[in-house]
Amino acid sequence: NAGVMQNPRHLVRRRGQEARLRCSPMKGHSHVYWYRQLPEEGLKFMVYLQKENIIDESGMPKERFSAEFPKEGPSILRIQQVVRGDSAAYFCASSPNGGRAPEQYFGPGTRLTVT
């Protein structure tokens, strides 16, 4: 049973370019979460999505960041016009559909470097 997959694992972008990060949840999981970890800091929640719906985006920066989880295909975190402060590790997690206290399973992360 494959785990959460993220690609690319490493992404280098120049300032002003766009970054697209992809996350494929575990099979049978329809809940996806995105977290960001700045260098030497803890993980911070960004957004929680179910298929075709954004449930909680309280951690998303107001500008330049967007996320989607279409009916078919992976979840996408999109960062427009990247700046050096966007350099971080971005982790995706997924949860199973049932259970009283659903745990989250994390992917290996995408390390974004903005030059």
Q: Which of residues 12, 38, 55, 83 is near other proteins by CB under 8 A? A: 55
- Looking up tokens 């997924």 gives 94
Which position among 26, 54, 76, 89 is part of the footprint of other proteins (CB under 8 A)?
89
Given 26, 43, 54, 76, the residue binding other proteins (CB under 8 A): 43
Q: Is 108 in the site for other proteins (CB under 8 A)?
A: yes
Nearer Cβ to other proteins (17/45): 45
Q: Can residue 101 be called a binding residue for other proteins (CB under 8 A)?
A: yes
Instruction: Candidates 10, 15, 27, 44: give the one binding other proteins (CB under 8 A).
Output: 44
* 93 contacts other proteins (rule: CB under 8 A): yes
Among 51, 52, 102, 115, binds other proteins (CB under 8 A): 102
Q: What share of the chain is helix, strand, coil (3-state, %, to 5)?
A: 5, 50, 50
Secondary structure E strands in 1-115 = 5-7, 10-13, 19-24, 31-37, 43-50, 53-56, 65-68, 75-79, 88-95, 105-106, 110-114
C-alpha–C-alpha distance, residues 62 and 65, integer Å:
7
Q: Which is nearer to other proteins, 39 or 85 (CB)?
A: 39
Cis bond leading into 8, ω under 30°? Answer: yes
